[in-house]
Structure 1
């Protein structure tokens, strides 16, 4: 089964993190990304803000802006797409996301 795993970061928590905590998070993501690549389950990934565009409707026209558009405190920081046997396996992957301490991780089954 395919699962989309969305990683959320809370603006205030990220802003409150020290430089050392940001460096540690970067190292932890390096190790996590290596784990994903070596797992054989990874099917795709993306991180913010590389290549993000948002489309909204305004006065019947499509308005395209660069970057994410969200008024929420938690913002999507990235995602990965995995193919594993079931939700329990997907949860196992999601529990390893380093950024969960700065927001949350959401798992969605993908229908194809």
Structure 2
């Protein structure tokens, strides 16, 4: 089953990290991605360019506004998709994401979303 993992962060906090700490974190994330790629579990991994747009239908016409959906100090900064045997493996991967452990108080988190297959049997 495939899972989307959304990586949340706080732009102000990440921008304030000293260069050597940021380089160390990037190295850990690269190694994390390489290990998942080598295991055949990594489907895709991309950073997102700030900022998103939000499209809503408050009346009869779609309205496009700056995103993300809500005012927040954290935003989705990247994602990866894994294809694994089940939810427990997806949780294991999510718990091992390097940025979660990097520097207490740096903010951020990770959401795990099971992806529907073509027929939607998961519902």
TM range (shorter): 0.7 to 0.9
Does the CA-based 8 Å contact 2:4-2:114 persist in structure 1? yes
State the TM-score, normalizing by the size of structure 1: 0.78
Give the whole-Å Cα distance in 1 for the aligned partners of 2:31 and 2:53.
Answer: 30
- Is 1:63 aligned to 2:68, yes or no? no
Q: TM-score normalised to the size of structure 2?
A: 0.72
Aligned residues: 109
Cα deviation per residue 1:49-95 (whole Å; 9 max; x = unaligned)? 18x75242488245387xx5352111111111111111110011112
Query: Alignment partner for residue 107 of structure 1, among 97, 100, 112?
Result: 112
1:34 equivalent in structure 2:
34
1-side partners of 2:71 and 2:81: how far apart?
25
Structure-2 change in CA distance of 1:6 and 1:62 (3 Å): same
**Structure 1 outlier segments of 4+, above 4 Å:** none
Higher relative contact order (CA 8 A, sep 6+): 1
5+ residue gaps, structure 2: 118-123
- Could you say which structure has the higher helix fraction? 1
